Amino acid sequence: MDKDTIWIPVGPQHPFLKEAAQFDFDIRGEEIVGARYQLGYNHRGMEKACEDRNYYQCLYLLERICGICSHSHTTAFSMAVEQILNLEVPKRGEYLRSLVCELERLHSHLLWIGVAAHEVGFDSLFMLVWRDREIVMELLESITGNRVNYAINTIGGVRRDITDEQRTKVLAMVKDLEKRMEYYAHIGTNEPTFVARIKGVGVLPPEKAKAMCSVGPFARASGLDLDIRRDDPYGAYPDLEFKVITDTNCDILGRVIVRVLELLESCSMIRQMLENLPEGDIAVKKVPRKVPEGFALARYEAPRGEDCHYVRANGTDKPDRVKVRAPTMANLEAAVESVIGSYVADIPIAIASIDPCFSCTDRTTVVLNDVNRGRQVMTWEDLRKKGIEFYRKEVGISLS
């Protein structure tokens, strides 16, 4: 590294990061010439923890992988287990699951647009979009009982039904939201200061997106036509009519366009689902507690991309292996590479354009006792003593 290149660490704590991750950038002046990332700060060992819990406890645990896409993880896990058990979820249950799925997509994309506006300093758009996101949260709360971590999935279907008044309320509010989303689509593509920050930034050519196996709106903005809802249909999607939005811009403007248009598509899908909601049961009545030996792969189109869950059962009531691959992991390498060549000022918006959810991505561990470095775990007393000692030696004040 020559003299002109300085290395700035962004993270693990940084105002633009909603979760902890480490990015290292080599910059020359204001231009980025090298980038690396390091994850693991939010790793909670969920896959290992799942091996000690029965399937319903796993469902509870996997919900808490992430707050924004919690429904994705539970749905994908339920789908995998239902594949092993060969259960067929009743139609009404599938529709309700997909309804919550689309509402979650609404709230996640609105969150992202607000956060992207905040990253470029456009706080007015941030406040307005999040005001509308509150409407979606209210709808989710009325249907499922909670604003995040909905806990509406169970193996074999859903746990709660919706009443007719909830149905009319959702339809009315979604119609309201559609008008506002068209306004945001207009701002997102026409506001000069916003577009100046996102046009031509974070460019990822389609061949690179293909080679790095990117997923979700990030890949669709580079022209790749991948959508699990159409390619590998599940839930209510075989019955619905929707467009898969792709864009050829390959930069952050493209990702904004894709997500905003997907918002409008989601609204139309919600309307279709609610108007054609079939009658019947919402879940399979008797689900066996012990799952016979088998394995299954479930793929789900989360708001951020493709969410894969692989489950292997061994005949007991606890799974043998649960593998969760969240969409952010697939996109991160490509995102970090797309930043090279842009300016330092573009780092937050370029990394944020994949809609990162590091909670989904990590799954950490801590070294407790090391021969060379001594105890790494300190009790409160140890920490206090160490702090007093530090201030006495370095700063010269006594805090005891």
Partner 1 sequence: MNIADYPKAIQEAFPGKEVVQTRPRRFWIDLQPEELRGAVQVVKEKFGIFHLSTICGEDMRDHILANYFFGGKVCITLRVHMDHKNPTVPTLADLIPGAIPYERELRDMFGVDPVGNPDPRRATLPEDWPAGVYPLRKDCRPPRAGEPWPTVEVKTDEKA
Partner 2 sequence: MDVIKVAFFVLVFPGFLFQFMMAAVLEWMDRKLYARMQNRVGPLYTGQGGFLQPVADLVKLFAKEDLTPYAADKLMFALMPLVSLAAVCASGLLVPLWVIQPYTSFPGDIIVDAYLLAIPSFALFLAGWFSSSPFSLIGASRVLTQMFAYEVPFFLALLTPAVIAGSWQIATIMAFPWWEGPWWSVLLRAIGQTMALGVAITCLQAKLERVPFDIPEAETEVVAGPLTEYSGKKYGIFRLQKNILMYTGAALVAAVFLPSFPMVKLFGEFAGPVFAGLWLLVKTLFVVGILSVIRASFGRIRIDQIVVFSWKYLAPLSLLQFLVVLVLKAQGVVHP
The nearest distance, CB 306 to partner 1, in angstroms, is: 7
Q: Is 354 in the site for partner 1 (CB under 8 A)?
A: no
Nearer to partner 2, 124 or 168 (CB): 124
The nearest distance, CB 80 to partner 1, in angstroms, is: 11
Q: Is 24 in the site for partner 1 (CB under 8 A)?
A: no
Among the listed residues 287, 295, 289, the one whose alpha carbon sits nearest the alpha carbon of residue 320: 295
The nearest distance, CB 30 to partner 2, in angstroms, is: 7
Listing DSSP states for 126-154 in one string gives: HHHHHHHHHHHHHHHHHHHS-SSS---EE
Q: Is 31 in the site for partner 1 (CB under 8 A)?
A: no
Binding site for partner 2 (CB under 8 A): 6, 8, 14-16, 30, 117-125, 127-128, 131, 191, 193-194, 196-197, 343-348
Dist CA 351 CA 336 (whole Å)? 7
The nearest distance, CB 8 to partner 2, in angstroms, is: 5
Binds 373, which of partner 1, partner 2, none (CB < 5 to 8 A, cut-off by type)? Answer: partner 1
The nearest distance, CB 333 to partner 1, in angstroms, is: 6
The nearest distance, CB 333 to partner 2, in angstroms, is: 22
Residues in the chain: 400
Residues with Cβ within 8 Å of residue 393, at least 6 apart in sequence: none
Q: Is 312 in the site for partner 1 (CB under 8 A)?
A: yes
- The alpha carbon dihedral of 62, 66, 71, 76 has a sign of negative
Per DSSP, helices labelled H in the chain are: 46-50, 55-63, 70-85, 91-119, 123-144, 164-190, 192-198, 206-211, 216-220, 228-231, 252-275, 327-339, 347-352, 358-361, 380-390
Site mask, partner 1, residues 240-279, x = CB under 8 A?
A: ----------------------------------------
The nearest distance, CB 203 to partner 2, in angstroms, is: 16
Nearer to partner 1, 232 or 317 (CB): 232
CB 278 within 8 A of CB 254: no
Dist CA 217 CA 303 (whole Å)? 8
Q: Is 13 in the site for partner 1 (CB under 8 A)?
A: no
Q: Is 330 in the site for partner 1 (CB under 8 A)?
A: yes
Strand duo 374-375 + 5-10: pairing: unpaired
Q: Report the site for partner 1 in 59-118 (rule: CB under 8 A).
A: 83
Q: Which of 6, 48, 123, 316 binds partner 1 (CB under 8 A)?
A: 48
Q: Is 169 in the site for partner 1 (CB under 8 A)?
A: no
Q: HSE-up of 109 (CA within 13 Å, CB side)? A: 29
Residues with Cβ within 8 Å of residue 307, at least 6 apart in sequence: 69, 72, 73, 76, 299, 300, 301, 324, 325, 326, 327
Dist CA 162 CA 173 (whole Å)? 16
Nearer to partner 1, 109 or 299 (CB): 299
CB 134 within 8 A of CB 141: no
The nearest distance, CB 29 to partner 2, in angstroms, is: 9
Q: Report the site for partner 1 in 285-304 (rule: CB under 8 A).
A: 294-297, 299
In DSSP terms, 369 is beta-bridged to: 375
Nearer to partner 2, 124 or 364 (CB): 124
**Given the rule CB under 8 A, which residues bind partner 1?**
38-40, 43, 45, 47-48, 52, 83, 210-215, 226, 231-232, 294-297, 299, 306, 308, 310, 312, 320-321, 323, 325, 329-330, 332-334, 362-374
